[in-house]
A and B are shown apart, each in its own frame.
Chain A
Amino acid sequence: MKLIMIFISASLINNFVLTYFLGICPFVGVSNKTENALNMGLATTFVMTLTAAVTWPVYTYILVKYNVAFLQYVAFIILIAALVQLVEMYIRKSSPALYRALGIYLPLITTNCAVLGLALFMVLRSYSYIESIIFGFATGVGFTLAILMMSGIREELEFADIPKPFQGISITLIVAGMMALAFMGFAGLIRG
């Protein structure tokens, strides 16, 4: 039951993009086409799940055990960068088709603050190992959902007559604001 709660909470109610403002850069940058947005979302979900799976043992069994938890930021960012690099190399060798679809998005994920944010929230809320993995996956799903919806709206916006100063990023952020308002409606899903 708790796992389901974590999943719903991380993907819908406390959507990383729309309530914690994490991962805004790719959210604005890669959301102009639905196809790109979907690929970016999938790549991010994959890396997030892996990040949760790897950072949790490192934090619990190395950083906490040897009393160097203050090094967590350094450790996490190195882990994420290394992980992204490994994933990129592995995909390039094993599946060229997948690499063509996801390749250019993978390096961008290192600087996606949502991935580091995920590791930090995981520690902050002291999730167990299974919970962390679910949390990582759900966060990725939430990100994919948000970026996919945004790309759909932006494709329509191409044909809209927007006042000049509002064009581009400005209107994207205002639309994101409306989406955040809509997502607030999910807050009633979990009571107590």
Chain B
Amino acid sequence: MAENNGYSLWYEFKKGLWQDIPPFRLVLGTCPTLAVTNSVINGFAMGMATLFVLLGSNIIISAIRKYVAPQVRIAAYVVIIALLVTVADMFLAAFFPPVSKALGPYVPLIVVNCIILGRAEAYAQKNPVVPSIMDALGIGIGFTMSLMVMGFIREILGFGSLFNIKLIPPSLFEPWIVMILPAGAFLVFGTLIAVVNYISSRKSAASDKA
């Protein structure tokens, strides 16, 4: 990761946006990716909540990394993450009740979102605070973007609308109900992974030739 590319904060940020983009490349955090992406707004809200928790957990864990005994580290991380999620959940419930209602139990389920524990294990516990912040921002924004792309596809095909605004009149386009159902989530996600695979195999083929 960072070690062989020199020490560049920009790289730490950038890698989350394409190279390690969470749901498509690392296939982590699949539950929220599938569950809340029936509209762009829900995807965005979920992405932001995850970004907040990820940022908080990366900062705290990298700050205390020298004081936590390795045997109990996972337990310690999980407690930190669960507390941050409680904060995020209460914040959403207090200031954005409709969003909190739409996301339902998927906000508390951020606790077991593997992205967060994964970043804590793979990055924050080995690196200082500032690069950990960049790592969290990159991965968090990459995750939010992925959720919004999923939400975009499903909302426009399933409701014919974007950001809850009807764009296509039903007389021109019959919405595909399946897209907002669970089955549609699996189909869109599987297809998007294939697209990402295809683009990156084209890219690496091109760089092999050069």
A residues at B contact (CB < 8 Å): 18-25, 28, 70-74, 77-78, 81, 111-113, 116-117, 120-121, 124, 163-167, 169-174, 176-178, 180-181, 184
Contacts and interface: CB of A to CB of B under 8 A. Distances in A.
Interface stretch (B8-16, B26-34, B151-159): B26-34
- Majority DSSP secondary structure for residues of B touching A: helix
A78 B82 CA distance: 9
Interface in B179-210: 181-187, 189-191, 193-195, 197-198, 201
A24 B34 contact: yes
B31 A22 contact: yes
B145 interface: no
A187 B163 CA distance: 30
A13 to B, nearest CB: 12
B60 interface: no
A171 B108 contact: no
B26 to A, nearest CB: 11
Contact of A120 (B27, B30, B78, B105): B105
B75 to A, nearest CB: 6
Contact of B30 (A25, A111, A184): A25
B109 A120 contact: yes
User: Most B CB atoms within 10 A — which of A20, A113, A172, A176?
Assistant: A113
A133 to B, nearest CB: 20
Nearest to B34: A21
Contacts of A170: 190-191, 193-194, 197
Interface of B: 27-28, 30-31, 34-35, 75, 78-79, 82-83, 85-86, 89-90, 105, 108-109, 111-114, 117, 178, 181-187, 189-191, 193-195, 197-198, 201
B132 to A, nearest CB: 21
Given A164-B201, A180-B181, A174 B78 contact: no
Contacts of A176: 186, 190
A20 B30 CA distance: 11
User: Most B CB atoms within 10 A — which of A25, A166, A177?
Assistant: A177
A74 B79 contact: yes
Contacts of B113: 113
A181 B111 contact: no
Contact of A21 (B35, B111, B114, B198): B35
Contacts of B190: 166, 169-174, 176-177
